[in-house]
Amino acid sequence: MPAYKVKVKWGKEMFNIDVDTDEEPLLFKAQLYELTGVQTGRQKVMLKGVTLRDDEWDKFKVSNGSMILMMGSKEEDSMKEPTVKPKFVEDMNESERAVSLNLPAGLNNLGNTCYMNAVIQCLKTVPELRRALKNHKGAMSLDASSPSQSITMSLRDLYECMDNIKVSPSLSPFIMLQVLHTAFPRFADKADDGHYMQQDANECWTELVRMLKALSAEKPAEGQETDKQKFSSFIEQYFYSVMDSELKCAESDIEPVTKSTESFQQLSCYITTDVKYMLSGLKNKLKEEIIKKSPTLDRDATYIKTSKVCRLPAYLTVQFVRFYYKEKERINAKILKDIKFPIEFDAYELCTTELQEKLAPMREKFKVAEEKQAFEVKKDDKKKMLELQKSGDKEVETYPYSFDGDIGSNNSGLYTLQAVLTHKGRTSSSGHYVAWVKHPSNGSWIKCDDDTVHPISEEEVLKLSGGGDWHTAYLLLYGPKKLEKTPEEPMATSP
């Protein structure tokens, strides 16, 4: 095991430290944090002009006696002497490291099951789903006649195990995989060598979410009106968008326009030569040409289908349509093009005029709050920034993010990214899937690569937009952007 004794110079202080380059560099930075109080994100660690990254040693060549320079200042609230003697990272076992860094449990790969692991980690970021699963009663069963109940209960039990795991920082989701194979035999297909074949993570995502319709819809609080949409399941309340569509024949002025309303589990971002950003890819899907038989012309004709969102869910799933079928090779080939996506997303332009009007009051509240915050920070930048940072660790009262009478909706059109599922490879039936999730308590980002789980930066998440053979965003999960109440405002109960 490559372990080296090095010296780290930080200001006027010098530390003698053992470095194990078999471990993630972030663990070394965590060790420096324990010694100096400088947060890992504020550290700049250099050796002979090379800066150490969080995820790999790369050109950072360490040897015995190396003199490493660390730059970075600790925050004002980190100046106190620690009351408990630090335990160095190299002295911790894997479980202690995961607890020390407050990381979620990983999931072992059971043979090309990274697609399932990534989906499970992404969905785990939805607190309302976790609550609904916890409240779902019944014992685990492998009854093939009730796949929806089996998947729902196995996911409930798996999340509970992941939260309570003590011995190891990862576990093997055997039961979840068995239930998935029973419900969807195609996921159990094997190659000639006897190993499970790689599967499409989006297919797994849509099927799992569809099976979770076994979760009962949330009921409104006593005295509140019932849901206007009258959804029958929790999933429809929190994950389904509703669209109004108009279908008009482009070759006939006398044929009446056909109107319809449809619900969707996810929005699709179509990638064409002129699409560079997620929003433009989503808008492309809202107006499309369709060839169908015209009853007026009695022949195939071109129709223009125009759609607008009339109901936004609290949790919005966006699929990048990156795979297309190549007839000659008989594979689902991948579009590698770089498509930028935002950390904070505004869905206002996708909505009907009626919904935009309904969104206006909450959007105005956000605007006023942001202007007030900008003004206060400008008055005394340092003091206010410290106060904002400290308040981030406290549980705060927020406005409800759903409309009255429509549990699980989004009443502002504003979203915050909380999970990204990526694919690395050239076809959907090969390569590797990884989940990149936002920590529920402190907002930091975490990479969940099967059983390997470690912190990353927001900048690394934004680099998942594509353009090469690196991990490329395939599915995005956005949650509602929440607005904090000021102390003088009345309290309210969020859904």
What positions carry a catalytic annotation?
Answer: 114, 432
Residues 439 and 446: their CA atoms lie apart, in Å, by 7
Amino acid sitting at position 49? G
Question: Phi/psi of residue 18, each to 5°?
Answer: -90, 130
Which of 323, 342, 343, 341 minimizes the C-alpha distance to 333? Answer: 323
Residues 35 and 39: their CA atoms lie apart, in Å, by 11
Q: Which residue shows structure tokens 């969940």?
A: 448
Question: Phi/psi of residue 157, each to 5°?
Answer: -70, -35
Geometric angle at alpha carbon 84, from 81 and 86, rounded to 5° = 90
Residues 27 and 296: their CA atoms lie apart, in Å, by 69
- Residue 148: in which H helix or E strand, if any? helix 147-164
- Residue 305: in which H helix or E strand, if any? strand 299-311
**What is the secondary structure of 223-276 as a DSSP string?**
TSPPPSS--SBHHHHHH-EEEEEEEEETT-SSSPPEEEEEEESSEEEE--TT--
Question: Phi/psi of residue 116, each to 5°?
Answer: -70, -45
- Work out the number of other CB atoms within 10 angstroms of the CB of residue 261: 11
* DSSP reduced 3-state for 293: strand
Radius of gyration of the chain (CA): 25
Q: How many CA atoms lie within 13 A of 490 on its CB side?
A: 2
Residues 429 and 248: their CA atoms lie apart, in Å, by 38
Longest dimension (CA), the chain: 86
With contact defined as beta carbons under 8 Å apart, do 443 and 393 qualify?
no
